[in-house]
Every structure is written in C-alpha cells, then in structure tokens.
Amino acid sequence: MARPNDEVAELFQEYADLLSITGGDAFKIRSYEKAARGIGGYHKDVSTLGTSELRSIPGVGASIADKIAEYVATGTVAAVERVRQKVPPGVRRLVAIPTLGPKKAAALYEQLGISSVEELEAAIHSEALRGLKGFGPRTEENILHGIRLLRQSGERVLLDTALGLAEEIVAAVSAAPGCLRCTHAGSLRRFRETIGDVDVLAAAEDSGPLMAALRDSPVVAEIIAAGEKKTSVRTTEGVQVDLRVVPAAAWGAALQYFTGSQAHNVRTRVMAVRAGLKLSEYGLFDSGTGELIVSETEDEVYGRLGLPWIPPTLREDRGEIEAGLDGTVPRLVTEADLRGDLHTHTDLTDGVGSLEHMVDAAAARGLEYYAVTDHAPDMPMQRMTAEKMLAQRERVRELDRKHPGMRVLHGTELNIGPDGDVDWPHAFLREFDLCVASVHSHFTQDRATMTRRLVRACENPDVAVIGHPTARLIGRREPIDVDLEELFRACARTGTALEINAQPDRLDLRDEHILLAKRFGVRFAIDSDAHAVGHLGFVRYGVGTAQRGWLTADDVITAWPWPRLREFLEAGRS
C-alpha cells in the first residue's frame, strides 16, 4: 500500500544510512533524513509534481528534487545505486543491532568483510574481532547481547502495554523520598501507535533514591546504564525504560526536550539559535552570556521562542511550528469532548459483556448516546440471525427508556463482502438506528477490486460508518491494499464517516491517513469497538490518534451532540 511518497522517503532514508556507513558528510546525511521525513509527510503525491513544487516540500532543494524526478521517471536513482554497490544490504542490517552504529559497522565490513548479522555472530565466536581497534571484550559482549535482542523481540510494544508499564514505574519513582514530580514523556506522551522505549522524567534535588526505586522495581530484568542523571533498564517483557532526573527548576525544559520528537526538537533548537539563545534539557539560555532565561514550564519555553504551547501529539515536525507562528494551531479534540460511542459488541456475538452491563458502563462514563452494533450473519462464526437481532432490539429499546440521560441506539456491524455487498437488504437495514460496515475477509484482493468494494459500501445509504477502514492488526496483519484517496472522496461525497478504531492493536485509521482524509472533508467516528466493559476506555487511544491527525471536535461525529449526529445519519440515508 506504499504511496510513492513513502517509497521515496524509504529510499532517501536508506541512502542516508548507507552514506553514514561509508563515512559521508554528516550534514548531507542529515539533509537526506530530513527530506525523507518531509516527503513522507507531504500531502500531495510526489509522482504528480513538477520540479518547482517538489522544491516547496520542506527539506527538498534542487539536488533532491532532481533525484525524486529521476525516481519517478525511471524507478531508480543512480546515486543510490552507486552507494548500494559499495555497501551490501546486510551491512545496513548491522546498524539495527543495539549499540552498533554506522562507524562500527563500517569497520567490521572494511576490515573483516562482515556483511550480515550471522557472519558477525560467527566472527565474534571465532575471536576474529580480537585486535580490531575499538572492539574490546565488552563491545563483543554487547554486540552478542544486541543480536539476541534483535532476534527475540526488538519489537515495539502497543500503546496500552507501554502506558501500563509507565504508570507502574511512575508510581514507584513518585513514592521515592525526595521525588518532587514524575511523569512519562517521549513517544508515549505523543501517543505514537507503538512505543520503542518508555521515557520517564522526574524532578528531585537528590536523584539517588529515585534511581534506586527504578532499579529495585520488580519489573526490571536488567540494568543497561546507571548514572546520576540517567538510568536505563530493560523490563522482564523486554521493554527499555529510561529514567531522567532533573532539578525542579528545569522541569519545563526537560519535559519539552524528553517529549520530542527529535525532529520537533531540532526545529525548536534552531529557532533558539536564530534568536541568540541556546535550548537544552536544562533550559533556554542566552548564548552570549550563558544566563538562564526560562526553564520551569513548557509554556514559558515555547513562549520565549515566539510559539504557543504545542500539544505533544502534534510535535512531529508536520507543520506544528509553522502553525504556531501563524497562530493556527488547532484546538484538538479531547476525551472530554466525546459524547458517544458508535461501535460496540455484546455477548450476543463475540463480546464478553452482557447488553445490560455494557449499557450501564457506558452510562456510568457519562455518554450522551451509545450504539450496540453486534456482528451480522455473513460472519458465520457469530451465528447471527434476523430473529436474534430483532429480539435484541426490543431489549435495547427498553434500556433506552431506562436511561433517560443517554440514547441507546440499535445498530449492527455489517460485513463488506468481496464485491461490496453487505449482509441484509435495505428493507431490513433501514430499521437500524445506524450501520457500521467493515472488511473482515478477503484481505488480499488487488487494489482496484478492494477500492471498488469499499466505495460501494460507502454508496450504500444505510452505511453510516466504515469500521477499521484498513483492517490492519499492528504487528500481525498488513493493511488491505486500497486507494485511500478514492475512498476519502467517496466518504466525503456520500456523507459516510470513517472510523478511528481505538483498539490498541488496530488504531485504524492511523494518524497520517487521518491527516490526509481530513483534507478531503471526511468526518470521523472515534469508537472503542469494545468487546468488554473494560474496553470502553480504549477511546483515549483513539483520541490520541485523532489528535495526531490534527482533528478538532468538529471533525469527529462522536463529539457532536445527538441532534447534530441524528441529522448527519438521516442526511446519509436520503
């Protein structure tokens, strides 16, 4: 499903990696990395753009614009091919080993001809690295350890796993004597869909007891590094946790720094330098006198740079700096804005909560409306029938009367068949309050077929929401191959909302696709897809993902009051 932009971004990232192994100019390498990010996040398809428009992409100048054009025309870039000749693909793999970077990879390849992880492992065992400059016994051990990690998991963990771990560590560190503040930062605070390692920040005068609290935590399996300001550990589940301790006066600067992203921080530091300032995790300083200017809150740090406070979920260098300067940072949708949930299950199909329990739990969350959308019969394992559905409807209507503060809606999650048909005829579907429709089978159709299939589902007047639109399962199933722009156009034209499914292993649509869809005027439904009472809270991950897609409450139909949502549903059916 790679867009041309993603292909070009990956190509330039590879080029940057290869240049770093061959010892290329560090600034040139950074330029290619920056251009790769700019191209990957650019909203227009680079294969349709002329030179001048290519050069308006952040980080793209004359030389890179030419290389993009060359790639679009020929499918290859001569400069990249040349450096590929010099560095076998296995050598690039070496830098994926923790503690092994481009310099060591280059030394191993040039001096010993090592060009794969397997060869490196064998070379260490046969003591071939002995005597190689810069490679002592500890380095050998670290590399072997790194190879084991790479093979075992090396994988990123899902948001809910990382957040649970972070909350546990934050509680332990907060309880240590002298801890003034403690919270998680990093990609977790930015709500990235998967987390590589968990960053925890604390403030204290004496870091000793805090570091000890982390080291002594029962979840810690291994201590990677232990210093006065930073301790890194690996948990029994293989997740790395970094704890940084700073003085309370530096809290804001440190939180800003450790929240990232790296690309965002590069931008803020450059802004500081241009203003005659120096920004570090300890504060914003006058670069001439070294005098501290601000450091206590993030608000002050951004303010002194001429920016409003920027929400962590936007800090990816995807235009938030420019929006800050223009005063156009959006008021992002929050969990408090959500008024309902339009995709949930009960034990009538594959849920584990009874209808009554689910509805009571939804009411306890203070929702204004709540839709029960059990699976339809074309998913044979669910054993659904029209009779069961109608019987459930009677109970839903009763519950609706029992909960005067909350509309209980009766819906269903239909299956989008291979050619775009759904389970029941219009006469039956029209009696539901709303229908979600999702792909649950035939995941490998070609793009044209898959696109027609989804567009047909959008055109069905009874379908209000497309559920988990790309059907991916993070780390387990690739997204379906669909022309997203075609789908977004169809949604906007037919008044069909796209779901932001908040299950942590789905998060579907994902952030960048939300950003793109919004440009087409698409509306979104943040849904829990809850199969149990405990899943209703997953919407926090959906909100984080929506924020990463720059959505406001106005973009999200589940943040609308019921009368506005009812109008939207009726308009889609007319």
Partner DNA sequence: GCCGTTTTCGGCCCGACTGTTTTCAGTCG
CA nearest to 536, candidates 544, 545, 526: 526
Shortest Å, Cβ 27 to DNA? 3
Quick one: which of 119, 242, 298, 529 contacts DNA (CB under 7 A)?
A: 242
Region near DNA per CB under 7 A, out of 159-167, 222-230, 298-306, 535-543: 222-230
Region near DNA per CB under 7 A, out of 262-270, 295-303, 310-318, 500-508: 262-270
Q: Which amino acid is at 293?
A: I
Residue with tokens 């796209």: 498
Per the CB < 8 A criterion, the answer to whether 341 and 362 are in contact is yes
Quick one: which of 13, 30, 194, 377 contacts DNA (CB under 7 A)?
A: 30
Query: Using the rule CB under 7 A, is 229 a contact of DNA?
Result: yes
Nearer to DNA, 235 or 496 (CB): 235
| Sign, CA torsion 240/241/246/250 | positive
Quick one: which of 186, 311, 312, 324 contacts DNA (CB under 7 A)?
A: 186
Query: Using the rule CB under 7 A, is 199 a contact of DNA?
Result: yes
Query: Using the rule CB under 7 A, is 25 a contact of DNA?
Result: yes
Q: Which residues have CB under 8 Å from 373's CB, separation 6+?
A: 342, 343, 344, 345, 411, 412, 413, 434, 435, 436
Quick one: which of 44, 181, 269, 452 contacts DNA (CB under 7 A)?
A: 269
The DSSP symbol for 279 reads: E
Quick one: which of 281, 296, 368, 483 contacts DNA (CB under 7 A)?
A: 281
Shortest Å, Cβ 418 to DNA? 43
**Inter-helix orientation angle 26-40/62-74, to 10°:** 60
Quick one: which of 45, 228, 237, 322 contacts DNA (CB under 7 A)?
A: 228
The DSSP symbol for 557 reads: G
Strand boundaries in 190-229, DSSP class E? 194-195, 197-203, 220-226
Shortest Å, Cβ 462 to DNA? 48
Nearer to DNA, 230 or 365 (CB): 230
C-alpha 268/C-alpha 289 separation (Å) is 20
Query: Using the rule CB under 7 A, is 276 a contact of DNA?
Result: yes
C-alpha 376/C-alpha 499 separation (Å) is 18
Taking CB under 7 A as the criterion, which residues in 65-84 touch DNA? 65, 79
Nearer to DNA, 63 or 385 (CB): 63
Quick one: which of 113, 118, 125, 136 contacts DNA (CB under 7 A)?
A: 136
Nearer to DNA, 320 or 508 (CB): 320
Cβ neighbours around 9 below 10 Å, total: 22
C-alpha 178/C-alpha 98 separation (Å) is 33
C-alpha 333/C-alpha 550 separation (Å) is 8
What DSSP string runs through 331-375? -B--GGG--EE--B--TTTT-SS-HHHHHHHHHHTT-SEEEEEEE
Query: Using the rule CB under 7 A, is 278 a contact of DNA?
Result: yes
Quick one: which of 5, 31, 259, 460 contacts DNA (CB under 7 A)?
A: 31
Nearer to DNA, 265 or 344 (CB): 265
Quick one: which of 240, 354, 449, 552 contacts DNA (CB under 7 A)?
A: 240
Quick one: which of 47, 142, 297, 354 contacts DNA (CB under 7 A)?
A: 142
**Inter-helix orientation angle 78-86/4-21, to 10°:** 40
Shortest Å, Cβ 39 to DNA? 11
Quick one: which of 134, 218, 288, 327 contacts DNA (CB under 7 A)?
A: 134
498 upstream amide cis, omega within 30 of 0: no
What DSSP string runs through 80-111? HHHHHHHS-HHHHHHTTSTT--HHHHHHHHHH
CA nearest to 411, candidates 426, 392, 427: 392
Quick one: which of 112, 220, 226, 363 contacts DNA (CB under 7 A)?
A: 226
Quick one: which of 60, 450, 546, 565 contacts DNA (CB under 7 A)?
A: 60
Structure tokens at 329: 């940072």
Per the CB < 8 A criterion, the answer to whether 337 and 554 are in contact is no
Quick one: which of 6, 13, 58, 445 contacts DNA (CB under 7 A)?
A: 58
Backbone angles phi, psi at 221, to 5 degrees: -105, -25
Region near DNA per CB under 7 A, out of 96-104, 433-441, 498-506, 514-522: 96-104
Nearer to DNA, 83 or 352 (CB): 83
Nearer to DNA, 150 or 492 (CB): 150
Nearer to DNA, 242 or 511 (CB): 242
Nearer to DNA, 27 or 48 (CB): 27
Nearer to DNA, 148 or 564 (CB): 148
> H-helix or E-strand containing 521?
none
Query: Using the rule CB under 7 A, is 103 a contact of DNA?
Result: yes
Quick one: which of 11, 14, 32, 507 contacts DNA (CB under 7 A)?
A: 32
Residue 218: exposed, middle, or buried by beta-carbon count in 10 A (0-12, 13-18, 19+)?
A: exposed
Quick one: which of 40, 41, 59, 467 contacts DNA (CB under 7 A)?
A: 59
Shortest Å, Cβ 300 to DNA? 18
The DSSP symbol for 473 reads: B
CA nearest to 244, candidates 225, 261, 221: 225
Shortest Å, Cβ 143 to DNA? 10
Give residues in contact with DNA (CB under 7 A): 25, 27-28, 30-32, 35, 55, 58-65, 79, 95, 97-105, 133-140, 142, 186, 196-197, 199, 225-230, 240, 242, 260, 262, 265-266, 269-270, 273-274, 276, 278-282, 287
